[in-house]
Each structure stands twice: as C-alpha cells, then as structure tokens.
Amino acid sequence: ITSHYLHTFSDYRRYSEKQQARLTESKTEGRLNLDVQEDLLVCYLDEREVLEDELYHLLDLLEKTQGRQNSTRSYTDKSQVQTDVQQDLLACRKGDTFSCESGEYVIQAFLGEGSFGKVAKCLNLRNNETVAIKIHKSHLSNDDIEQEVAMLQALRAVDPDKNNLVRFIDSFDCQNCYCLAFEMLDKSLWDLMMDRRLTPLTLNEIRPITQQLLVAFHALKGLGIIHTDLKADNIMLVNHQDQPFKVKLIDFGLALPASKARIGMTMQIRSFRAPEVFLGLPISEAIDMWGLGCVMAFLYFSNYLFSHSSSYKTMKDICQMVGQPEDHLLNAGTKRYRDFNLGGAVKAYMTMEDALEYEDGMEFLDFLKRLLHLDGERRLTPIQALQHNFITLPASRKTRK
C-alpha cells in the first residue's frame, strides 16, 4: 500500500510541476488566450489539491503502519477480542447489542456509512424505542469526538423539537468504538431529491423547510455554535408521510463554538463554502446562512449554484453568479468575470402565468440574494430572515405551485 501511494504521490508531483511550467510558459510567451490560461490554472490548482490529499493519506497510512509495528496488544476482556483490521472496518453486525446506562440497543440495520464510521438503526430493548446510533471509527481523534459530544451537550439547553434540532439521547463506549444515540428520523433532503429523480421542489415546499432551518440557526446563534456543514444530507425529514416537509438539522460532527473559529480554517463543502472562508476573513455564524442559501438554490434548481471541482472554480462561479467582492473584502484589481445573473437564473425557472406566482418568485430571489451576500457582516441573520417577506408572505398571496 505504501509503495502504491509513494508512486501516486510522485506521479502527481511531476504532473503538477509540468502544469505549472506550462502555465508560466504560456503567460511569458503570450501564446495562449486568457481562457486557455485559466483552464491551465484550474488544472494546476486541481492537481495541487489532489496532491495534498494524497500526501495526507500517505502520512496517515505510514503513521498507522508504524504504530502497529511498534505496539503489542493483549486482550483480557471479551469485548476487546478484535483484530486491528476489524476495528478499522467497524466489525459490527446486524443483531449485535450495545449496552449502556440509557438502554440496551440491538442493531436492526445499517442506514449509511461515511468517513466518520457507520449509522445503525437500533432498538432499545428496555423501552422499545427505535433510535439511530452513530458508530465512530476507533481510530478517530479523541479530540474530534469530544468536540462533537460537547456540541451535542450544549444543544440540550434548548428544546430540540421546538428548535428543529435532532434529539441527542446518549453517548457511550462499546467494543472499542464510540457511539452516539439519536432519535430516529425519516430520510434526508438529499434522499428525497433522489427519490424525486431530482425534480425541483416548489416555493411552497421550500418555504416551510427554510423557516424551520432558520429557527434552528437562530437557536444555534443564541448558543454561539456554528454548524459549518450544512447540506441536503444533514437536513432530515421527521416523518414525511405524516408530517410533510417537517425537518430537523442533524450532524454536529464538524460544529464548533463561534469563539473558536479562526481565520484560515477550512470548513463547509466547497460548493457551499462562504466567501469569507475562501478569502481568509473572520468566520462567524454567517457562514451557515450562506450555506442555507446554497441549499435553497439546490432544492429550487436541483443543481448546485457553484462548482465543487476546485476552490478556484467555486470562487469564479461566485463572482459570476453573485458579483465581485467589494474592495474591502478582496484586493483591488481582481478580475470581474461577469455581471450579476442570479435573477436571470431564478426567472428562468419561474411560472409567469400568474402575477401572484411572479411576486412570490421575486421575494424568493430577493431572499436568496440577501442570504448570498458576499459580506458576512451584511448577510441576513436568522431573525432577520424570519421576518423577510418570502417567509411571512400571507397564504392568500403565495404561489399555488
């Protein structure tokens, strides 16, 4: 494995150096037009990001290999009878049981898997409650797990149902894995969009989702917490059949206190990343409002507003779609790519047959523009957004869609 990654690392390094040389040569000789130069720059930046990812992965592999070669383990407890490989692969099976103070949980099914570990549907044998248990990988940093638990504990200061936040039940160690138990919810907005084959949601469907998320973010702002990872996957429908579009915000694995946010931190998925994160400006709860605007656009267009292929392309898309950052946010002389065109994009999706539908669409556009303000300090706060006409528009004036 190490040999493979060393070879890959070397290949990417040579390729990136070649791309950078081609870019320098083209600029020096003036042989290529600006579009071609931009394409070369994008390619170079993409490869550089891949190179960094590969290097990180390589170092992580070397660290694990070195640690295993230098360690000896003796298992004196039945719960510890696992090999290192089994630990890494989370050797939990359907029918396995977790026991802790809050209950005795039996795994009924696995709902999903990610870089953090797995999520299992479990039954609490003590009270017959079905819950979702997030099973962390054994090699994850204790600091990361402690940070997530600290955020979940902080959320207990508010009512999870009234504030549309997932209900945290318990945390416990079991079989060398760290587990977090939550209320069982239905499916994510991403799953809903997949079920609909990416058929866009209507404004009357987007509105209640947005209103509920604003309540959630208002609660988080009051607690001084930044979610940092808003996306359709982390917005769950509670029970879509009985309570259509009733949602809750989940996954606080990357959340952090606003007081600990530092300039230069990388957070949010790239296509939902706020400009201040890209530009190295102060980070606040406002990045979650940018993320909310991106989620709303995804639900309405069934596509991402901004590219996720590279940081360069994402910032270019932001400039094209939302406009040029002001001088106090970005150094003077940065190229302006194109005039603001978000309004044109929204209008293209609107039904113009009814004046009421048009009015609702215009309120949606204005709301989206205010959420996607380039300056985080001038972006709508949750309480301001809750008072916007798109949210408060009387039912008699809302679109019939």
> Which helix (H) or strand (E) segment is 256 a member of?
strand 256-257
pLDDT of residue 318: 86
What are 243-298's pLDDT values in tens digits? 999 999 999 999 999 999 999 899 999 999 999 998 888 999 999 999 999 999 99
Q: Give 343's pLDDT tier (boundaries 50, 70, 90).
A: low
Q: Is the per-residue pLDDT at 381 higher than 70?
A: yes
Of residues 153 and 72, which shows the higher confidence score? 153
For residue 101, give Cα distances in angstroms to 116, 126, 181, 182.
Answer: 24, 11, 12, 15
Residue 136, beta-bridge partner list: 117, 178
Whether the predicted pLDDT of 319 surpasses 50: yes
User: For the chain, which residues make up each domain, given as ranges?
Assistant: 2-69, 80-183, 189-397
* Predicted local confidence at residue 356, as pLDDT: 46
User: Would you say residue 187 has pLDDT above 60?
Assistant: yes
Q: Which DSSP string do the residues of 5-74 spell out, in sequence order?
A: HHHHHHHHHHHHHHHHHHHHHHHHHT-S-HHHHHHHHHHHHHHHHHHHHHHHHHHHHHHHHHHHHT----
* Residue pLDDT, tens place only, 74-90: 323 333 333 443 444 45
**CA atoms of 302 and 263, how far apart (whole Å):** 32
Q: Where are the beta strands (DSSP E) in 44-151?
A: 97-100, 103-114, 117-124, 129-136
What per-residue confidence (pLDDT) applies to 174? 76
- Nearest C-alpha neighbor of 300 from the set 392, 369, 207, 381: 207
What is the structure's pLDDT at 207? 97
pLDDT on residue 12: 42
77: annotated active-site residue: no
Q: Is 301 a residue whose pLDDT tops 70? A: yes
Q: Is the model's pLDDT at 178 over the cut of 50?
A: yes
Q: pLDDT averaged over the chain? A: 77
| Assigned CATH for 80-183 | 3.30.200.20
Question: What is the percentage of the chain residues whose pLDDT exceeds 70?
Answer: 66
Q: From CA 400, how far away is CA 357, in angstroms rounded? A: 7
In this prediction, residues 384-396 reach a mean pLDDT of 87
* CA-based nearest residue to 105, from 180, 8, 208: 180
Specify the pLDDT at position 312.
82
Q: How far apart are CA 201 and CA 296, in angstroms?
A: 9
- Residue 234: pLDDT over 90: yes
- Dihedral through CA 353, CA 356, CA 360, CA 363, nearest 10? 110
pLDDT at position 292: 98
Confidence of residue 346 (pLDDT cuts 50, 70, 90): low
Kindly report, residue by residue over 193-233, the tens digit of the pLDDT. Answer: 999 999 999 999 999 999 999 999 999 999 999 999 999 99
User: How many whole angstroms from its chain centre is CA 38?
Assistant: 28
**pLDDT tens by residue, 46-77:** 444 544 444 444 545 554 444 444 433 332 33
pLDDT value of residue 92: 79
pLDDT greater than 90 at residue 15: no
Is 248 flagged in the annotation as binding? Answer: no
> Quick one: average pLDDT of 4-27?
47
Backbone conformation region of residue 41, classed left if phi is above 0, alpha if psi is from -120 to 50, else beta: alpha
Cα–Cα distance between 180 and 184 in angstroms, integer?
12
Contacts of 370 (CB under 8 A, 6+ apart): 379, 380, 385, 388
Q: Domain 189-397: which topology?
A: Transferase(Phosphotransferase); domain 1 (1.10.510)
Query: Which listed residue (39, 229, 366, 375) is catalytic?
Result: 229
Question: What is the DSSP secondary-structure string of 337-382?
Answer: -----HHHHHHHHS--S-HHHHHHHHHHHHHHHHHT-SSGGGSPPH
Please tell me the chain's helix, strand, coil percentages from 3-state DSSP, rounded to the nearest 5.
50, 15, 35
**Residue 235: pLDDT over 60:** yes
Any idea which of 53-62, 120-129, 295-304 has the lowest mean pLDDT?
53-62
pLDDT of residue 138: 65
**385, 215 contact by CB (below 8 A):** no
User: What value, to the nearest 5°, has the Cα angle with vertex 251 and ends 194 and 302?
Assistant: 25
Residue 360: the pLDDT is 85
Q: Which of the two residues, 207 and 118, has the higher pLDDT score?
A: 207
